[in-house]
Amino acid sequence: MSDDLKRVIARTSRIVFLLLLTGLFFAHSNQASAQEMSGQEKDEILKRLSQLEKEIESLKKENADLKAMVTAKENSPDVKQPPQASGGETTVVKKEPAEAKNGRLEIGGQIRFRPEVRNNADLNSSISDLDDFTGQRIRLHIKAALSDNVYGFIQFQDSRFWGTEASTASNEGNTDLHQAYIEVNGFLADPLSLKLGRQEMIYGNERLVGAFGWDTVGRSFDALKLVYGEKGWSADLFAAKVNDRRTARRGDGDQDFYGAYLKFLKDKPAYELETYSLYIRDGFDTPGELFGRGLDSTSIFTFGARHAASFPGGFYYDGELALQSGSKGPDDHRALALALKAGRAFDSDMSPRLGFEYDFATGDKDPLDGKSGEFVNLFPTNHIQYGYMDYLGWRNMYDLRATFSFKPTSNLVFDTDYHRFYLHRAKGRWTNAGGAVFGFDPSGRSGTYLGQEVDFTLRFPYKEKIKFLGGYSFFLPGSFARATRGRDVSHFSYLQTLIDF
Number of independent structural domains in the chain: 2
Cα(104)–Cα(101) distance, integer angstroms:
5
User: 223, 235 in Cβ contact below 8 A?
Assistant: no
* β pairing state of 449-460 and 437-440: unpaired
Residues 72 and 221 in one domain: no
Q: What are the helix and strand counts (H, E) for the chain?
A: 4, 23
Residue 148 included in any domain: no
DSSP 441-479: -TT-TT-SEEEEEEEEEEEE--SSSEEEEEEEEEEEE-H
Residues 366 and 255 in one domain: yes
Question: Is the bond preceding 191 in cis, omega lying within 30 degrees of 0?
Answer: no
pLDDT of residue 492 exceeding 50: yes
Residues 90 and 175 in one domain: no
Cα(492)–Cα(386) distance, integer angstroms:
15
pLDDT of residue 49 exceeding 70: no
Instruction: State pLDDT tens for residues 268-291.
Output: 778 899 999 999 999 888 899 898
Cα(113)–Cα(137) distance, integer angstroms:
7
Residues 88 and 192 in one domain: no
Residues 176 and 63 in one domain: no
What CATH number is associated with residue 378? 2.40.160.100
DSSP 133-175: EEEEEEEEEEEEESSSSEEEEEEEEEEEETT-SS-TTS--S-E
- Containing structural domain, residue 216: 171-460
Residue 61: pLDDT band by 50, 70, 90 thresholds? Answer: low
Residue 290 included in any domain: yes
Task: Work out the average pLDDT over 129-141.
Answer: 96
Instruction: State pLDDT tens for residues 170-202.
Output: 777 789 999 999 999 999 888 999 999 999 999
Q: State residue 78's pLDDT score.
A: 38
Residue 169: pLDDT band by 50, 70, 90 thresholds? Answer: confident
Residue 442 included in any domain: yes
* Long-range Cβ pairs for the range 4-9 (8 Å, 24+): 4/66, 4/69, 4/70, 4/73, 5/70, 7/66, 8/63, 8/66, 8/67, 8/70
Instruction: State pLDDT tens for residues 445-467.
Output: 999 999 999 999 999 998 889 99
Residues 69 and 179 in one domain: no
323 DSSP β-pair partners: 303, 336
- Pick from 63, 94, 125: which residue ends a domain? 94
Residues for the chain: how many in total?
501
Cα(473)–Cα(117) distance, integer angstroms:
11
Residue 498 included in any domain: no
Cα(278)–Cα(337) distance, integer angstroms:
14
When mean pLDDT is compared over 50-54, 142-146, 432-436, the highest value belongs to: 142-146
Please give the model's pTM, rounded to 2 decimal places: 0.76
Residue 151 included in any domain: no
When mean pLDDT is compared over 68-72, 299-303, 459-463, the highest value belongs to: 299-303
Residues 203 and 350 in one domain: yes
- Pick from 94, 124, 157: which residue ends a domain? 94
- Pick from 79, 94, 109: which residue ends a domain? 94
Residue 91: pLDDT band by 50, 70, 90 thresholds? Answer: very low
Residues 323 and 197 in one domain: yes
Residue 497 included in any domain: no
What's the chain's average pLDDT? 85
Find how far residue 465's CA is from the centre of its chain: 17
Instruction: State pLDDT tens for residues 236-266.
Output: 999 999 988 765 566 677 899 999 999 999 8
Find how far residue 155's CA is from the centre of its chain: 15
User: How many alpha carbons fall within 13 Å on the CB side of residue 277?
Assistant: 3
Instruction: State pLDDT tens for residues 115-128.
Output: 999 999 999 998 98
First to last CA, the chain: 44
Residue 346 included in any domain: yes
50: DSSP letter = H
Residue 159 included in any domain: no
